[in-house]
Chains A and B, each alone.
Chain A
């Protein structure tokens, strides 16, 4: 199931599953007689990212994108499967500061991701101090100043508090902090979805620019296909904890094959086809606590038949793209 690549992967995710116990507290459960409830946030997901490239994961709210982001930097330990970073098991890699330094994360909410009581200098300097990348006050200040300049702020901004900045500027501070550990792998969890559209483009261009100059590798999480189109080399479409389509971003966006990807792309407004009748994606994402049997997309899928309702689809490879769909496999 692992997808084929020419260069060795920087991040290699193999068959991981993440379950969360979402039962009520023990005593309440005992009194009410409720069973243990388990949420399957990630269900048998595999992908890998080559150095210097961007893999994007898209999907609706609750499909497990953010859980995947946290798994990729080791904030969660997967219930099953393995994640390897630079050829080593992720938890082993994270035990070594020299390897842990090479991964960092950019968060969605620029208001919650910066400690309101800390000066910007201290926020950006935290990874520098943690990994002892500079010694002495003056050296750290100089490094922080350089990082702030690199993301389009000024060194003097270090003496301010986060609340003195706009959302876009805060996201720049967040990027400066992520770069402070001199990483080569960045997990970006919806870094622009909390920003105004005009500011989104600036932040995305900054990130692309930094990728080109520093050779960064991105795992980019988003629900916005327009943003993904701009950023990605490869693309994975997630639905209810599974990757339903995975391959080169250009191929998928040009000829989407999975019915879910097609519905998602169909829902994007298009200036060339004004007044075109669009098929909205009907229904809601089912609960991951009680996912539907068979293909989890079948309750909303226009092509679903009896096989889809019973049997989990395996990946079919078409044009270098992996698709988990019976209809594609059968050519329906």
Chain B
């Protein structure tokens, strides 16, 4: 711990206000999301507690607002703040799982392509190139479409979250694979790899114990930036109505529902989930940018 506090990374963090601010925002949002059942003023999933009498309450500061619904309520009297906290849980869960999936696939493919070289490298990288020609949304729509037509609706609903995770993960892996392959190409020709090869250490162990620790840094930076992308992709899919089922409303779903009331004056139902999404992705990207600069020796 002491060693970490003295490191260059910690110094760069302490002297960069944007980094500190983005970590604070992320912490607040993440704690709010993870502990939503304990912290949220209402349970938006519990339809028994909803009352149409409470519908379309404006946020605090507007006439008829109530302090129990600080960000107002929607058409069914659901508390917007609580819905956002529960929705963020799902957005973060899908985003993190999709990035973990993409990082796992990307690191594996990138390591093998970079270390093996030759035909294996060419094949895997052309596969990545093909993947990159499809926009992430298109890939996700395609996978969603195939699985929807293959499975009956009753089986689809509980599986939907996994489908979305895999769909977004697949659209993101080429970025990680390319980053890791590039660093692997540099590392595999270094003499410490030669030293291991001379004594006959098997390739799989060289990749895992020698190369991987030296290429994982850049992959984590791309991973942080990818988290923002994944959350946005999930929100876009949910906004289009092909994402998660309405029983698991994410930020994107909330924005879509609220969108219907935007022009009838109940702007808060869609604006607050939207602002939360912007804040979340902005904080993640600012943190990723800082991490990229802090780990780049040429920018020190």
Contacts and interface: CB of A to CB of B under 8 A. Distances in A.
A70 B191 CA distance: 11
A75 B197 contact: yes
A109 interface: yes
Contacts, number: 53
B265 to A, nearest CB: 59
B16 interface: no
Given A70-B194, A117-B214, A126-B199, 13 more contacts: A25-B122, A73-B198, A104-B199, A112-B190, A112-B191, A113-B191, A115-B210, A115-B214, A116-B214, A126-B195, A130-B200, A130-B201, A181-B199
B191 A127 contact: no
A131 interface: yes
A283 interface: no
A75 B198 contact: yes
B191 A109 contact: yes
Chain B's interface: helix, strand, loop or mixed, by majority?
Answer: helix
A177 interface: yes
B107 to A, nearest CB: 16
Interface residues of B, number: 15
Contacts of A181: 199
A135 B196 CA distance: 20
A105 B201 contact: no
A114 interface: yes
A70 B200 CA distance: 14
Q: Tell me which of B191, B199, B201, B213 has the highest count of chain A C-beta atoms within 10 A of its own C-beta.
A: B199
Interface in B93-140: 122
A116 B195 CA distance: 14
A272 B191 CA distance: 40
Nearest to A174: B195
A186 to B, nearest CB: 10
Q: Tell me which of B122, B195, B201, B213 has the highest count of chain A C-beta atoms within 10 A of its own C-beta.
A: B195
B35 interface: no
A114 B198 contact: no
Contacts of A105: 194-195, 198
B11 interface: no
